[in-house]
Amino acid sequence: MELENILSSIPNNISIVAVSKYMSDDRILQLYEQGQRDFGENKIQNLILRKNKFKDLKINWHFIGNLQKNKINHMINLEPFLWQSCVSFEMASEVEKRLKKPLNSLLEINIANEDSKNGISAQNAYETYIKIKNNCKKINLIGIMSIAANCDDNDKIEQNFKMTYDIFKTLKQHGASICSMGMSNDYKIAIEHGSNMVRLGSILH
């Protein structure tokens, strides 16, 4: 779908991250020319390549994928605009140790409770968020990210977004301002339930 058609269906106080993992370089450029500034990649290697390729553009690069321990230094050197996928206190501490300046980050919650997905469990999300806030001063935690169940069951997807938003509400008093939820297949439901950042890949492809 074209960016302008998607934009017209999304309130303008909601950030759109164009997930470029399926996009050609030309498509990234095209979206940039249409005004898109936030892009996300889920693999460090691809983020390195693309950040370098488009270094003359004013792109805010988001890292949204699984971070392996041996890639921590690479991620730090990339200085992402937002690291959306901090999954645990342990991971936050590992990154904290090596950071020289603050890194805007989100805590990823495994809201669908699927083994195949990364993230902290819903039960431990609040406690972990506070623990990272109190102990990792360079991890600038500013919200949460979640991925809903990958299924056709809208009730289940809604329930995942409701749960994420409930956690977000309790964290607002601790400075959380970003609730990143919603992808190509479910962003409309996510927005109905309080998302203020959607991550769109295939629909923009």
Ligand X SMILES: *Cc1c(COP(=O)(O)O)cnc(C)c1O
User: Which parts of this chain interact with ligand X (CB under 6 A)?
Assistant: 19, 21, 42, 64-65, 147, 183-185, 199-203
Comparing CB distances to ligand X, the nearer of 139 and 197 is 197
Gap between the Cα atoms of 92 and 73, Å rounded = 13
For the bound state, the minimum distance from the C-beta of residue 9 to ligand X, rounded and expressed in Å, comes to: 15
Whether 198 and 191 have beta carbons less than 8 Å apart is answered as yes
For the bound state, the minimum distance from the C-beta of residue 177 to ligand X, rounded and expressed in Å, comes to: 19
Comparing CB distances to ligand X, the nearer of 92 and 200 is 200
Comparing CB distances to ligand X, the nearer of 131 and 185 is 185
Q: Which two tokens stand for residue 142?
A: 């500013």
Burial grade of 198 (CB within 10 A; 0-12, 13-18, 19 or more): buried
Residue of minimal CB distance from ligand X? 201
Burial grade of 48 (CB within 10 A; 0-12, 13-18, 19 or more): middle
Comparing CB distances to ligand X, the nearer of 1 and 57 is 1
For the bound state, the minimum distance from the C-beta of residue 173 to ligand X, rounded and expressed in Å, comes to: 26
Closest of 147, 157, 142 to residue 119, by C-alpha: 147
Comparing CB distances to ligand X, the nearer of 136 and 201 is 201
For the bound state, the minimum distance from the C-beta of residue 17 to ligand X, rounded and expressed in Å, comes to: 8
For the bound state, the minimum distance from the C-beta of residue 149 to ligand X, rounded and expressed in Å, comes to: 13
Based on its alpha-carbon atoms, the radius of gyration of the chain, rounded to whole angstroms, reads: 16
